C-alpha cells in the first residue's frame, strides 16, 4: 500500500511514540518502515530496530522531534491519549498526519462512549461522575459491585473495587475530581481493533484479555496480556460495524484504534476506547498477516483507495467470524520484588527473543520487551513479555 502511492521517500518513516513502542516498531520494521521511537522503556529489542530513540520521560522530546524530524507521520501507542498537549506540539510544525489532540479528546469522552454505545445497541455500565446523585438509582443497585476508575488510567492501573457505594459521602467527587464510578458487570474482557479511513471505518479483529486468575493479586485489574484472534458472532459484527462508523464519523480520527468490551452471553458492553495502537494489535497483525502499520500509514496519509478499503473491510468481517488455526498469546511478567537486570539475564532472554513471526514460537516460548542490562525494575513493574502459541484458548499447559 505504501510503495506505489505514498508521497514520502521509500522506505517510509514513522515516529512511534508511547509508553512502550516495541510491538508497533517490530511490526513496522517487518513491513518495510524505518522507525523513530519515543518511549519510556527503551527495551533492547526496540532500540536495535530504530533510526533514533528518544525518552518519553524527557519533557523536551516534542521539541527535539520537531527540530530533527519535523514532518514524519505519527503512530501513537499506550498512554498518548492522555498527552494531548505533546501530541499537538508535534503537529504544530507540519502536517504530520495521525490523530490530533481534539480527536483524541473526543475518543476519550465518557459522554461520547455512552452515547455511541446506546446508539449501536451496545451495553454501557451505569456510570457516576461529577456528583453522587443517588436519587435515580435503586438502593439494590448501589449495594452491588462497583469500580473506581481514574479518567487518565492506562492498562488497568488505578482501578479499584468499591464495596458499598451507598455509604459514600455527597462530597466524594468534589474531593476526587479525576475519577468516576462504574457498575461492575459479569463477562470476559475483549479488545476490538478498528480502522478509520476517509471512506468509513471497520472492525479488524478481536483478542481476549487473560482471565483474572492470571493477574497479580495486588493489582487485580492491571493489564496482564492478551490472546487471539478470537471469533465474533454475526450479530456482534453488525453492531461493531455500526459502532465503528459512528465513532469514526463523529471523531474524525483516521487510522487504528481499539475499544475494550465485556462479552457476556454474546452481548457486548463498552468499557473504554483507546484511540491509538493497542497492546493486542500485534497479535492480530502476526496471526492474520494484516500489515496493520502499512494500513495505518495508508489511511492517515490518504493513499488508501475506496476499493482497497472496501476489500479490507469485507475480508475483516468474514475473517472475524472464523476460528484461527493458531492462537498467539502474550503474557506480561511483573516483578515481585525490586531488582536490577544483570547482563546474564538480559542475554539469556535475548537468545530466546521473539522475532515477530509464528514459526519462532511453535516449539516454545519467546521473550519480548527485553530490558537492557542495568535496568532498575521496581516491585510491580513489568519485566518483559512472554510470547507463545496454542491451538485453542487454553494456555494452561503452555505458560
Query: What are the tens digits of pLDDT across the range 285-296?
Result: 999 888 999 999
Q: How far apart are CA 33 and CA 282, in angstroms?
A: 15
Compare 281 and 364 and report the one with higher pLDDT.
281
What is the 8-class DSSP label of residue 306?
H
Q: Which 3-state string (H, E, C) describes 89-140?
A: HHHCCCCCCCCCHHHHHHHCCHHHHHHHHHHCCCECCCEECCCCCCCCCCHH
Q: Give the mean model confidence (pLDDT) for residues 204-233.
A: 80
Could you tell me the three cell numbers for 54?
528518544
Band of residue 7 on the pLDDT scale cut at 50, 70, 90: very low
351 SS3 class: helix
**pTM value > 0.85:** yes
**Residue 264 φ/ψ, nearest 5 degrees:** -145, 120
pLDDT at 159: 84
As a whole number, the mean pLDDT across the chain is: 88
Rg of the chain on CA atoms, in Å: 21
Tell whether the model's pLDDT for residue 361 goes beyond 70.
yes
Tell me the per-residue pLDDT of 84-95, one tens digit each, with 9 for 90 and over: 999 999 999 888
Cα–Cα nearest to 313, from 285, 294, 290, 334: 290
pLDDT at 394: 60
Amino acid at each position: 500500500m505504501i510503495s506505489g502511492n505514498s508521497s514520502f521517500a521509500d522506505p517510509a518513516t514513522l515516529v512511534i511514540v508511547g509508553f512502550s513502542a516495541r510491538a508497533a516498531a517490530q511490526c513496522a520494521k517487518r513491513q518495510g518502515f524505518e522507525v523513530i521511537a519515543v518511549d519510556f522503556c527503551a527495551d533492547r529489542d526496540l532500540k536495535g530496530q530504530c533510526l533514533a530513540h528518544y525518552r518519553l520521560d524527557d519533557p523536551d522530546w516534542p521539541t527535539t522531534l520537531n527540530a530533527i524530524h519535523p514532518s514524519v507521520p505519527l503512530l501513537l501507542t499506550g498512554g498518548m491519549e492522555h498527552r494531548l498537549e505533546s501530541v499537538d506540539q508535534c503537529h504544530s510544525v507540519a502536517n504530520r498526519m495521525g490523530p490530533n489532540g481534539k480527536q483524541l479528546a473526543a475518543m476519550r469522552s465518557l459522554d461520547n462512549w455512552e452515547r455511541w454505545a446506546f446508539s449501536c445497541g451496545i451495553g454501557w455500565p451505569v456510570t457516576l461522575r461529577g456528583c453522587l446523585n443517588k436519587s435515580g438509582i435503586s438502593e439494590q443497585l448501589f449495594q452491588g459491585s462497583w469500580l473506581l476508575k481514574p479518567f487518565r488510567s492506562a492498562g488497568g492501573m488505578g482501578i479499584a473495587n468499591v464495596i458499598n457505594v451507598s455509604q459514600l459521602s455527597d462530597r466524594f467527587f468534589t474531593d476526587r475530581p479525576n475519577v468516576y464510578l462504574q457498575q461492575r458487570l459479569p463477562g470476559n474482557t475483549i479488545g476490538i481493533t478498528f480502522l478509520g479511513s476517509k471512506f468509513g471505518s471497520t472492525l479488524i479483529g478481536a483478542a481476549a484479555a487473560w482471565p483474572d486468575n492470571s493477574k497479580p493479586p495486588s493489582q487485580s485489574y492491571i493489564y496482564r496480556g492478551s490472546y487471539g484472534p478470537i471469533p465474533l458472532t454475526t450479530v456482534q459484527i453488525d453492531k461493531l460495524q455500526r459502532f465503528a462508523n459512528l465513532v469514526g464519523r463523529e471523531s474524525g480520527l483516521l487510522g487504528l484504534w481499539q475499544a475494550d468490551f465485556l462479552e457476556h452471553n454474546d452481548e457486548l458492553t463498552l468499557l473504554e476506547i483507546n484511540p491509538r495502537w493497542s497492546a493486542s494489535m500485534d497479535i492480530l497483525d502476526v496471526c492474520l498477516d494484516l500489515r496493520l502499520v502499512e494500513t495505518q500509514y495508508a489511511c492517515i496519509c490518504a493513499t488508501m483507495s475506496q476499493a482497497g478499503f472496501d476489500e479490507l473491510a469485507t475480508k475483516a468481517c468474514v475473517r472475524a467470524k472464523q476460528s484461527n488455526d493458531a492462537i498467539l498469546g502474550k503474557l506480561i511478567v511483573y516483578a515481585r520484588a525490586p531488582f536490577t537486570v544483570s547482563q546474564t539475564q538480559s542475554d539469556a532472554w535475548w537468545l530466546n527473543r521473539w522475532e515477530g513471526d509464528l514459526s519462532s514460537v511453535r516449539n516454545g516460548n519467546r521473550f519480548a520487551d527485553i530490558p537492557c542490562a542495568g535496568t532498575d525494575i521496581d516491585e510491580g513493574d513489568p519485566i518483559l513479555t512472554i510470547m507463545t502459541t496454542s491451538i485453542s484458548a487454553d494456555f494452561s499447559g503452555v505458560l
